[in-house]
Structure 1
Amino acid sequence: MRGFAEHRRIATVALVVGNYDEAIAWYVGRLGFVLSDDVDLGGGKRWVTVTPPNGQGARLLLAEASGEEQASRIGNQTGGRVFLFLETDDFSSDHQSMLAQGVEFREAPRHEAYGTVAVFADLYGNLWDLIEPKRRG
């Protein structure tokens, strides 16, 4: 396409949360993410990002809800659909680790044409897929 830089990517996805610190504790403690940024912006706002431990993929911006409208979206930013996809190259190991950390899976692992997958909920009820894509070739 004309006029667009060739090397663009989705770098950060905002996730509305109820509280910065409880969200940090859950994503770091239960999913093993790394706290990348926690910057005080003043007025109670912070720039808080977490990433998977390998640093690959988009960062999550943990955005504390401000006001009733934003608070009403906590845990249901997509109308009940799976919202985020956590890819792994070792489904079994990650699934067991997450279960041991108290992550709530909404279903047993299943094998699909595209890979092994199971839906889990984060601390607010947002739905995620833990997925090991099928290898090609």
Structure 2
Amino acid sequence: MNQVLSLVTLVVADYDEAIAFFTRSLNFELCEDTPLGSGKRWVVVRPPGGAGAGLLLAQANSPAQAARIGDQTGGRVFLFLQTDNFERDHARMTAAGVRFVEAPRHEAYGIVAVFKDLCGNRWDLIQPNSTAKSTAGSTDRYDSD
């Protein structure tokens, strides 16, 4: 049996604002934007290259969902954006206005820096070492500030 994690839902405040952030600031590709009626849309973005899971951008449609925007994991790093060139992508993202909450650091598993998306969710930008088996480091670094 072959399975793959294809999409992860990210609750956002506004579809168009989220599309702009992911396509302009993170250089993601807009793969689909289909109206579903009643203001809902099926919006999928993916990192360039098409490998790995995409994000299904879901506009909050209730107070409970709106309360989770930017804090889907209680302040922990939520998503991991792996790159083959940390310096290039860190510089491009910084120039595009992405807010990094720490300076890049070298860990046993690679180069990493935490940034926040437009909603405040924490991400790792990471370039794993060629010998690294996993991009996961110690869990204590994922706690909120």
> With structure 1 as the length reference, what TM-score do the two structures score?
0.95
Q: 2:59 aligned with 1:80, yes or no?
A: no
Following TM superposition, where does structure 1 have runs of at least 4 consecutive aligned residues deviating by more than 2 angstroms? none
The structure 2 residue matched to 1:56, chosen from 51, 57, 79, is 51
Residue 3 of structure 1 aligns with which residue? none
In structure 1, distance between residues paired with 2:73 and 2:131? 30
Q: Which amino acid aligns with 1:27?
A: F
In structure 1, distance between residues paired with 2:58 and 2:73? 16
The structure 2 residue matched to 1:25, chosen from 10, 20, 23, is 20
In structure 2, distance between residues paired with 1:29 and 1:36? 14
Q: 2:11 aligned with 1:16, yes or no?
A: yes
Residue 45 of structure 1 aligns with which residue? 40
The CA RMSD measured in Å over matched residues stands at: 0.9
Q: How far is 1:16 from its partner? A: 0.1
Gaps of 5+ in 1: 1-5
> With structure 2 as the length reference, what TM-score do the two structures score?
0.90
Gaps of 5+ in 2: 133-145
